[in-house]
Structure 1
Amino acid sequence: MLSHVIPPPRGYTKAPNSLVRHPRLGSDAKVLVLYVQGLPEEDRDKALGEHARALRMTGRAYQKAKSDLVTHGYVHEKRESLDAGRWRTVQVFSNEPLTADQAARVRAGVPADGYGNVGPSARPDAWPAPSTHSPTVGEPTGRTAGGQLPADEERGEDSSHPPTEVTVETESESQEQEQEQEQEREQEQDPGQGRDLDPDLVQDPDPAEVLLAERVLLSLRHQTRELSLGVREARKLGALAAEWLRRGVSAGDLRLALSSALPEGGVRSAFGFLAHRLVEKLPPHPEEAADLLVAAEPAPSPPLLPIACDGPGGEHMFRPHASWVTTCGPCHREQQRAHWADALARAEADPEPPRPPWRELVAAEARAGGGVEGPPGYGTRATAT
């Protein structure tokens, strides 16, 4: 890889390489630290969530970034009680990891063991005065942990070559790893995110269907960023999503059912939202759906009893198809034929006189004193004089 780095002459923010190259911090967390560090002093006295909204971070992305910063010591929170039963949350922000004791010193306005004080609580008059006793006997020793040792650059000058780093495993890093593992165990045991799923809903999932369901869940990020899932989260929901496929739902219909009609306020937790939707919108089994359709059909009405026919001919019985029918089919057809034959004979015996053309009708109306107007182009308006 070829790199061409030009140091900016002004308007830049200095960031430690330990932050930029941190392997366990996400990009959102790093951008949030750099954004807050580059703000003027009067604009930093805000909650971290307001700065995240200024960066247009979604709720889930901000919660993940804040969790990483709290886990690795860049952000510390503490609730304090005020007068009249009120409470407030004090956030301590730093571009270098701080321990709980160092964060308490910063809240009290005391430098945190070598780190300069940050935030509105910085009071130079609260700092302890330097000691006047003699230095400790002994030769100076080298650094034991942390920091960077520049190899080929001068202090205070910009250079495109990054300084060499000393990778020393410290006790704080091991503690951070233990905290991360403990946090992951707590998240796996957390019943509030929809992980305690009903075992009756998932019955012997097919591995092929589970794999297809995980791919559908991971592809939801292409529909909307609010439904972005990690591999482990998709694996936890794969069995329940595979139950949809086992009940006859296609992969496209499953993707549409999970990504459509999202809440107006947005999705704060993609895992919890999808777990709730997978359980609440789970379609019934094909056998249950057929039983529901059969149950929904109206019961057939009982057949009517046979009655005597009112038609011509001898007395006979028939079963009517409706309660208002009084004649059987053959008798009804015979009555219809007789009716129309009689109507035709009367029409032939006394035919109606032919109707005169409309022009003669208009002329007759005009002579009688009426004013009738014929169709356009065929005559003029007739008026009485």
Structure 2
Amino acid sequence: MESTKSKYVSKLVNELKPSGIRRFFDLAAGMEGVISLGVGEPDFVTPWHVRESAINSLEQGYTSYTPNAGLLELRQEIAYYMKNQFNVEYSPKEEIIVTVGASSAIDIAMRTILDPGDEVIVVEPCFVAYVPMVELAGGVAVQVQASKENDFKIQPDQLEAVITDKTKAIMLCSPNNPTGTMLSKHELEEIANLAKKYDLLIIADEIYAELAYDEEYTSMAAIEGMKERTILVSGFSKGFAMTGWRLGFVCSPPEISNAMLKVHQYALMCASTMAQYAAIEALKNGRPEVDEMIKSYRRRRNYIVQSFNEIGLECHNPGGAFYAFPSIKSTGLSSQEFAEQLLLKEGVAVVPGDVFGESGEGHIRCSYATSLEQLQEAIKRIKHFIENL
């Protein structure tokens, strides 16, 4: 659907750009035989015992509102999970809010901490919603470009160069969407030192924390002195294959959590009751399936990265998530041209890198959250496309 301006719509929303990802989904819709490497969600179905838990909650008649912050039992399981998996201790009653997906957690965080004109440093390439969510909350997004030469890892001096007296927070995503880049403990510590030096918050989008392949994942909140200045966003969509359940959570210091709860109360009331019961089961008994998914993603990651490099599309090795971000500069096409022509000529849907920020130009995002057979066919078609340019 084309975006049209209306006198009845706010100037801010009128000027807001539609999602660049959605355009390519719309183009692919209705086309026969398309292989989609564009969707940012697992190709696994939510495990049966998790679905069964939601069904059981309905059969038991648990269909009322939950507390605004979410079921206490779920918050207790999240607290145990964060301690057990990432060595960060949170109070279930004071520091955890269950949200409608991780996106709503980021939204309420921005609306809670930002006054008009406050700046948020956004590291790009980044998830397409970060900048709009800053702007919708009245803030100013200051975009800083991570470079391919550094495997898309932002350098501390880049961040320090744009810090002003209006800077309120730094927005980070590790492992990153769209690049798959994961920051090491040392690299997080360098950014943490800046946050302490300039008294800044870190909004840490850790939705892909489960999907780390080559080294142990480190949470920003686990860095010494950072729990009190980190708003940690996560959820069940990626690691637990629960995208359609729309369930996330946000952990933060009590004074910030209490303020966010006020926004959450008025905007959303509470997350889906049956989804919360499903999440309790996922946290209690879902680890074996998560481990199997991680093994499968690692195999696919290894295959697709090697294949891209072999056919001439230089691709760094992503440390996590389920995205490859190969360069298509050797073809002479822009990201938009490459993605559109590849879809129309070969029936492979990818996302042009520029929708994730200017530094994404010259790249495409390819999700390997699809079967190995589909990936092999997609690579075959991409190779044919390149050879016939």
Q: Which of the five TM-score ranges fits, normalised by the shorter chain?
A: under 0.3
Compare the two structures and name the one with the higher strand fraction.
2
Higher relative contact order (CA 8 A, sep 6+): 2
TM-score by length of 2: 0.18
